[in-house]
Structure 1
Amino acid sequence: MPELLARCSSDELAEWMAYEHVAGPIGPERQDILHGILAATVANAARGKGKKAEPKDFVPTWDQGAKRQPGNWQQMLAKVQAMNARFGGADLREGRP
């Protein structure tokens, strides 16, 4: 992530996010979908009559924790502070060392 932030401005990152919103996922998520389509095609060709496989049946669901309800703001702040410390970040809020 530091390398990405060193090479791209926030404007450029926002443009890529907008592009992905319009054109669909880019990177590994898109490959998961494409491989899901391929796997469903192969599975459907190899099976008899009955329920057809869908690409979503073969696409892994990453980050299951994102579907959980967020905690209160103090819990979220504590998580952000822990992640910031783990990544060697600095706390730039006023009155912080």
Structure 2
Amino acid sequence: MRHLLADIQSDELTEWMAYEQVTGPLGPDRGDLLHGIRTAVIANAASGKGRKAVPKDFIPKWDHTQSADWQEMLANARALNSRLGGTDFTQGGGRGDAG
């Protein structure tokens, strides 16, 4: 960030910010968005009736300020699996014991 601020003027940075608002995210965020769109299309084509997947379902959240414990991660995976009509093959009554 320091290099960016040293090499770019405020007006040019503002122009790039405005450009991104019109065209969508630049850099890795754009890749995440495009991947989310593709994955949602594939998931919807392969699923039956019910809630349709949207790109946001497949775009990771990169906020690492609070790490989730394994139970929370498992609950998130199960929720996404359920929304997409998947089957939960784990054993143990939802405790996360794989079998």
Q: TM-score, normalised by structure 2?
A: 0.56
**Quick check: which has more Rg, 1 or 2?**
1
Partner of 2:53: 53
Separation (CA, whole Å) in 1 of partners of 2:10 and 2:51? 46
Q: Deviations over 1:32-60 (max 9, x none)?
A: 11110011111112222222111111112
Shift in Å, 1:17? 0.9
Shift in Å, 1:31? 1.3
Separation (CA, whole Å) in 1 of partners of 2:51 and 2:5? 46
RMSD after superposition: 1.8
Q: Which amino acid in structure 1 is aligned with residue 20 of structure 2?
A: E
Unaligned runs of at least 5 residues, structure 2? 66-99
Q: TM-score, normalised by structure 1?
A: 0.57
Which structure is higher in helix share? Answer: 1
Partner of 1:20: 20
Separation (CA, whole Å) in 2 of partners of 1:51 and 1:63? 26
**Equivalent pairs, count:** 65
Structure 1 moving runs of 4+ over 3 Å? none
Separation (CA, whole Å) in 2 of partners of 1:22 and 1:55? 19
